[in-house]
Chains A and B, each alone.
Chain A
Amino acid sequence: MFNASNASFRDPSGFLFEHKGKLYRQINQSYKSDYDLLINSGLYKILVDKGQLIPHEEVKVKPNIPNVAYKVIEPTLVPFISYPYEWSFNQLKNAALQTLNIQRRAMKYGLSLKDASAYNVQFVDGKPLLIDTLSFEIYEEGKPWVAYRQFCQHFLAPLALMSKIDIRLSQLLRIYIDGIPLDLTSELLPKNTHLNLKLKMHIHMHASAQKKYANLSVQKPENNPYLSQKSFEVLIESLRSTIKSLSWKPIGTEWADYYNETNYSDNAFAKKREVVKNMINKVKPKLIWDIGANTGFFSKVAIEEGSRVISYDIDPCAVDKNYLECKASKEKNILPLLLDLTNPSPALGWANSERMSFIQRGPADMVLALALVHHLAISNNVPLSRLAEFFKKCSNWLIIEFVPKEDSQVQRLLTTRKDIFDHYNKKDFESAFSTNFDIRESISIPGTKRTLYLMEAH
């Protein structure tokens, strides 16, 4: 059970808490009228029906802090938590558009989002979903959008940087836990974005205004300009149009055409597919982490066996391709995410407890490590015994492919470096892994020099 309460403490409207192993949200008295309008106006129902807001039940559980409590609700659990710095371009873009979808609808019901954090969105069944039920407030005409700054920092800034400079800049979200600062974004973006009216307004002018008025208090009425509802709607529409205008084509990174350039003949690949399928079928794991999944070929095999899969890859292009394919086929059981296994997501935020590390979100029921080991052992010098220890922490069951030095892909890795890997061979591989796992099956792939293993942790 993840410690969601460690990430839920800033909002006086309410907070998450755990009780007897279940997750609840306390709604405070201060939020009573907002919550009642959310429900009574019909906004809650329509957002849930459209799959845009997480459903909840009102429950008779004792509140965590009774003297300020109004109600306690039990939200539906999100099966797997991921963070914006783990999302591909189009995942982040769709999370942004969903946030705006929700804001536009909310205004028709007299409500408005009081925050627009990317951490309020989670991917559930393949779609971005708002998980913070207390994000809504009663809309008062005249008040500007309190979440505008946060929306621009969490969504618009990273998308603009990824689109206009380099896809890898999404990693700035790991450093800036409340979104990328607009002054930094403004400095980094190419000068020609000053001629892009949308980015000029929402990033450059916005950044200047923040700097210019940094010392003025928003609590003073003279610093609160009147924004009519019509103008508010224009602002939201403009943001929507800006987000939609940002694009990134997933071509050209080194892994993009991976499956066209592998070491497998069609026959050998079909055999590998069959072996993996049978191994998964033997174990029937509920949740699989497919590490180095590329565009998700084997993730798709896994879901045929009834598993849910987190489909990890280091390449933003592969993750995005995977995501767009899943979206096109309305796939619910695969979640593609970015992962550099040599430097996985750390625990972040206040007390290093708000955002969980990669390993804290485990264990999985099974890990797939196909065509992966040589990258870790050779390119990254990770000893096989350490690989084995790490995989054991991730999951009880492991399907792993050993790629020997004779394989041409490994030869490629060794062309630019000295071969110091005396212990990188099948015998030492099996020995290193046997200290942590029992090898249940070992199958050589005909037509290749590779071996597939099914292993169970001791």
Chain B
Amino acid sequence: METSLFMHSLKPLAYLDPGTGSFLIQTLIAILASSIVVIGIYWRKVKNWFKKISGKEPGYVEADLENDDDV
């Protein structure tokens, strides 16, 4: 039985050719992007702490995960 790392596509006949490379890279990018987000959060916390002790307004704004981008 396959481990959960790989899975059969339930819809094998995608009409759009995604390109195998495009499929394979997504997992790696998701890992890298998550790491960037985590590092970014801590980096901004550090920056805001410095701004706070120097009396400036903290500039960090959470990425708005709930609302749409205004287009």
Residues of A within 8 A of B (CB): 10-13, 50, 52, 94-95, 97-98, 100-101, 104-105, 114-115, 127-128, 137, 140, 142-150, 152, 197, 201-202, 205-206, 208-214, 216-219, 221-227, 231-232, 234-235, 237-238, 240-241, 244
Contact = CB atoms under 8 A, between A and B. Distances in A.
Most-contacted residue by chain A among B37, B68, B71 (CB, 10 A): B71
B27 A144 contact: yes
Main secondary structure of the interface of A (DSSP, over half): helix
Interface in B16-69: 16-34, 36-37, 63, 65, 68-69
A101 B16 CA distance: 21
A216 B20 contact: yes
A105 B68 CA distance: 9
B15 to A, nearest CB: 5
A227 B34 CA distance: 13
B7 interface: yes
Contacts of A149: 17-19, 22
B7 A148 contact: no
B29 A214 contact: no
Nearest first, the 3 A-B pairs at minimum CB distance are A210-B21, A231-B30, A209-B21
Given A144-B26, A241-B63, A218 B33 contact: no
Given A140-B11, A222-B6, A235 B18 contact: no
Interface residues of B, number: 38
A94 B20 CA distance: 28
Contact of A205 (B29, B37, B69, B71): B29
22 contacts: A11-B15, A52-B68, A101-B69, A143-B10, A144-B23, A148-B18, A148-B22, A149-B19, A197-B36, A205-B28, A206-B22, A209-B21, A212-B21, A218-B14, A218-B20, A221-B6, A222-B6, A226-B27, A231-B26, A235-B29, A235-B30, A235-B33
B28 to A, nearest CB: 7
B63 A150 contact: no
A1 B45 CA distance: 57
Contact of B20 (A11, A223, A226, A227): A223
Interface of B: 2, 4-12, 14-34, 36-37, 63, 65, 68-69, 71
Nearest to B2: A221
Nearest to A207: B21
Contacts of A202: 29
Nearest to B19: A149
A218 B71 contact: no
Given A10-B15, A149-B22, A226-B4, 20 more contacts: A95-B71, A114-B16, A127-B71, A140-B9, A149-B17, A149-B18, A205-B25, A205-B29, A206-B22, A209-B25, A213-B24, A216-B20, A217-B20, A218-B17, A218-B20, A224-B6, A224-B7, A225-B26, A226-B7, A238-B33
A420 B67 CA distance: 60
B20 A214 contact: yes
Given A10-B15, A221-B7, A226-B4, A148 B20 contact: no
A337 to B, nearest CB: 17
Nearest to A219: B12
Contacts of B5: 225-226
Nearest to B12: A219
- Of B6, B8, B30, which is in contact with the most chain A CB atoms at under 10 Å from its CB? B30
A231 B28 CA distance: 10
B30 A101 contact: no
B47 to A, nearest CB: 17
Nearest to B5: A226
A115 to B, nearest CB: 5
Contacts of B34: 231, 234
Given A12-B15, A221-B2, A234 B22 contact: no
A226 B18 contact: no
Nearest to B22: A149
Contact of A144 (B2, B17, B18, B65): B18
A210 B6 contact: no
Contacts of A137: 11
